[in-house]
Amino acid sequence: MSLPARTDIDPEYRFDLTRIYETPAEFEAGVDSLYERLDDLESLAEEPVASADGLETLLDAVADCFERRQRLDLYATLAANVATDSEDAADRKRRAEAVPERFEPAVAAALRRVDEAAQYIDDLPERDRWYARNLHEQAQYVRSEEIEGVLATFEQPLGASSRIVRSARLEDFEPPTVERPDGETVEIRYGNRRAVLSHSDRAFRRRAFEAYHDRMDSYEHTLTRAFAEKLQAAWAEASVRGYDSTRQWALRGRCYPESGLGASLPGAVHDLMVETVRDNLDPFHDSLALRQRRLGVDRLRPWDLEVSIAESEPPELSYDDVKGHILAALEPLGEEYVDRVERFFTERRVDVYPTRNKRTDIPAYCPSSATDGAYILANFKEDVRTAFYLCHELGHAVHVDHHREGPARYATAPRPVEEVPSILHELLLVDHLLEAGGPLAEAARNRFLECIGGNLYSSARSAQFTHTLAGYVENDTEVTVDRAREVAASLRDEFYSPVDFGDQAGRNLPVSGIREPYSSYQYVLGAAGALAVHRQLRAGDLSPASYHEFLRSTGRRPAVDSFASLGCDVQTPEPFERATESFGSYVDDFA
């Protein structure tokens, strides 16, 4: 089915990017202005800092440069993703992507001056101290101006593996065509494969699954090589900067949107998280057994994992219906919170429908800047699944809306906590639809199993897969297709033991060639944190006001402390054990 042209969609359902820059010319002026500000930053960094006032001036300049860069990235990314056929938009995105070559050396020089001026940190105004301490901590991994310049220059070439994977999955992929039970044919692409595999006819699902993965097998060496090179590039930078491992480098990465702040999750939390989930796989296996019973099949096969196990057909939902359900679902978080969500709808911050030449390979995502707030690029298809995707991204958007209330340098979220608000949104929408009863309740139960099963268990599997392959790279062991398949098959056998994968166990590797290494852990933490918040909200042990304060403060303290403010000590097994127990109770209720 062909998609509508963008101009055929009512402007109410399209981005209003003039809120960021009124014209492309203003974007170009923004680039020039950033470069001028970087000149100022370099001048400041040339001289030693001799007082707390001097340190404060330097910190303000660093924060200002990051804030300007955020706006450029936001505008260029959104404009390019709603008009992938526009050469002008592609050129602007390329211009924004070239900024790090000039940006990173200037910031590195400033961080070295912050490090030298550490004795003045306690004399700073209170609002500046956490920012200064965080930059001071990062400074130990900053290298000389020459090395920083080289690293920045090679940032784009080293990102080639992501572009290769994207091309293999999207641009160069020749989608197989499979006939549906109604006689119509469908092309199976990366962006629609889940929808295709949600069809109720099992024989069709099998044909579609095998056709898609047989075609993907021709890219297996390319995808594996690209992921291995991504890990090698990450390890190379980590080594140059003095990190002990790729994981340590990844867990200390910059928060998003980038304001200069870095995350600081201990590697021990990553180990504990994965180990605890692996020790508590029974609820997930029970959910797969439930799936087998609901589908009435002798053996659960890989083409059975996307189809809904609701007993009734999920209804179609208009966009207005979905907005109403979401606003009602979020009422437990307070009237003021619901008002914030409603403003995202009225201010044209959601690009709602899939259109021609819009990026449709991802269901939805939510970029932002401290100055402009959040925007949601969605591909809503008037069904329950994409309704939940929209609700999920609104969790990110309202998080941004809260943390923007303080200084712009703190308008950010460490990756370990950023999925808590979005997964909580999904849990609250499940609650609301369960109360509605009927087909919507059945669809909501199914979505809960998808959401928590995916974020808690599948992400733990992917996290372990990446960690194992990163260990190969760090020990100079080649990441071959056979080795990657062996690791993937072993983890599938462990996590998905009730499923008969046949010769598929080591295929369709759980690699994210587009995202950065060690991106999966944040979803496991997000699921555990969201389930903890959800449980406490329902019990009255956590007030909406306390949760709102958590949202405001994520950029102002370590991620471990943010979780602790929610009564969630991620340095112990308890929150992960409670999360698997909660999942198990939902499985029992569904059964």
DSSP letter string, 248-259: HHHHTPBPBS-S
- Between strands 373-374 and 364-365, the pairing is unpaired
Q: What is the mean pLDDT of the chain?
A: 93
94 Cβ contact partners less than 8 Å away, ≥ 6 residues apart: none
Asked if 426 contacts 392 with a C-beta cutoff of 8 angstroms, the reply is: yes
Q: What is the C-alpha separation between 351 and 377, in angstroms, rounded?
A: 5
Evaluate if residue 456 carries a pLDDT over 70. Answer: yes
Specify the amino acid at residue 235: W
Q: Give alpha helix (H) positions in 82-183.
A: 87-97, 100-116, 126-139, 145-153, 155-158, 160-166
Q: What is the C-alpha separation between 410 and 433, in angstroms, rounded?
A: 35
- Kindly report, residue by residue over 3-36, the tens digit of the pLDDT: 999 999 999 999 999 999 999 999 999 999 999 9
The pTM of this model reads: 0.95
Give the pLDDT band of residue 331 (cuts 50, 70, 90): very high
Asked if 439 contacts 460 with a C-beta cutoff of 8 angstroms, the reply is: no
Q: Look at residue 13 and tell me if it is in a domain.
A: yes
Instruction: At 362, give phi and psi (nearest 5°).
Output: -120, 145
Q: Can you give the CATH number for the domain in which 84 is found?
A: 1.20.140.70
Identify the residue with better confidence: 124 or 314: 124
Mean pLDDT of 451-468: 96
DSSP 364: E
Give the pLDDT band of residue 222 (cuts 50, 70, 90): confident
Distances (CA, A) of 32 to 44, 104, 469, 525: 19, 16, 41, 39
Distances (CA, A) of 3 to 128, 184, 379, 381: 49, 17, 11, 11
Domain holding 42, by residue range, is 6-158
- Kindly report, residue by residue over 56-77, the tens digit of the pLDDT: 999 999 999 999 999 999 999 9
Q: Look at residue 532 and tell me if it is in a domain.
A: no
Q: What is the C-alpha separation between 152 and 369, in angstroms, rounded?
A: 22
- Kindly report, residue by residue over 204-220, the tens digit of the pLDDT: 999 999 999 888 888 88
> What confidence score (pLDDT) does residue 227 get?
87
> What confidence score (pLDDT) does residue 189 get?
86
Q: What is the C-alpha separation between 283 and 298, in angstroms, rounded?
A: 20
Q: Look at residue 173 and tell me if it is in a domain.
A: no
Number of domains into which the chain is organized:
1
Give the pLDDT band of residue 153 (cuts 50, 70, 90): low
Asked if 30 contacts 68 with a C-beta cutoff of 8 angstroms, the reply is: yes
- Kindly report, residue by residue over 285-302, the tens digit of the pLDDT: 999 999 999 999 999 999
- Kindly report, residue by residue over 404-434, the tens digit of the pLDDT: 999 999 999 999 999 999 999 999 999 999 9
Q: Look at residue 544 and tell me if it is in a domain.
A: no
Mean pLDDT of 512-526: 84
Give the pLDDT band of residue 171 (cuts 50, 70, 90): low
> What confidence score (pLDDT) does residue 155 get?
65
Evaluate if residue 591 carries a pLDDT over 80. Answer: no
Q: What is the C-alpha separation between 51 and 70, in angstroms, rounded?
A: 29
Give the pLDDT band of residue 475 (cuts 50, 70, 90): very high
Quick one: which of 455, 447, 449 has its CA closest to 314?
A: 447
Q: Look at residue 341 and tell me if it is in a domain.
A: no
Paired with 300 in beta bridges are 499
> What confidence score (pLDDT) does residue 423 get?
98
Identify the residue with better confidence: 224 or 32: 32
> What confidence score (pLDDT) does residue 505 get?
63
Tell the residue number behind the tokens 């990756």, with chain if given.
415
CA 308 to chain CA centroid, nearest Å? 24
150 Cβ contact partners less than 8 Å away, ≥ 6 residues apart: none
> What confidence score (pLDDT) does residue 161 get?
64
Asked if 247 contacts 467 with a C-beta cutoff of 8 angstroms, the reply is: yes
Q: Look at residue 56 and tell me if it is in a domain.
A: yes
> What confidence score (pLDDT) does residue 524 get?
98
Quick one: which of 547, 525, 512, 532 has its CA closest to 578?
A: 532
> What confidence score (pLDDT) does residue 218 get?
81
- Kindly report, residue by residue over 176-201, the tens digit of the pLDDT: 999 999 999 999 988 888 999 999 99
Mean pLDDT of 554-574: 97
Q: What angle do CA 362, 366, 371 make, to 5 degrees?
A: 150
Q: Look at residue 42 and tell me if it is in a domain.
A: yes
Give the pLDDT band of residue 326 (cuts 50, 70, 90): very high
Evaluate if residue 156 carries a pLDDT over 70. Answer: no
Q: What angle do CA 255, 258, 260 make, to 5 degrees?
A: 85
The DSSP element (H or E) to which 421 belongs, if any, is helix 420-436
Give the pLDDT band of residue 126 (cuts 50, 70, 90): very high
> What confidence score (pLDDT) does residue 400 get?
98
Give the pLDDT band of residue 510 (cuts 50, 70, 90): low
% the chain with pLDDT above 70: 94
CA neighbours closer than 13 Å in the CB half-sphere of residue 182: 5
> What confidence score (pLDDT) does residue 75 get?
98
The DSSP element (H or E) to which 491 belongs, if any, is helix 481-495
**Burial class of residue 392 in the structure, from the number of CB atoms within 10 Å of its CB (0-12 exposed, 13-18 middle, 19+ buried):** buried
Identify the residue with better confidence: 361 or 582: 582
Q: What is the C-alpha separation between 276 and 281, in angstroms, rounded?
A: 9
Quick one: which of 44, 37, 40, 42 has its CA closest to 58?
A: 44
Hey, what are 484's tokens?
A: 């990657």
> What confidence score (pLDDT) does residue 157 get?
53
Q: Look at residue 140 and tell me if it is in a domain.
A: yes
> What confidence score (pLDDT) does residue 174 get?
86
Paired with 377 in beta bridges are 351, 365
Mean pLDDT of 501-530: 80
Q: What angle do CA 547, 551, 552 make, to 5 degrees?
A: 115
Mean pLDDT of 389-409: 97
> What confidence score (pLDDT) does residue 170 get?
58
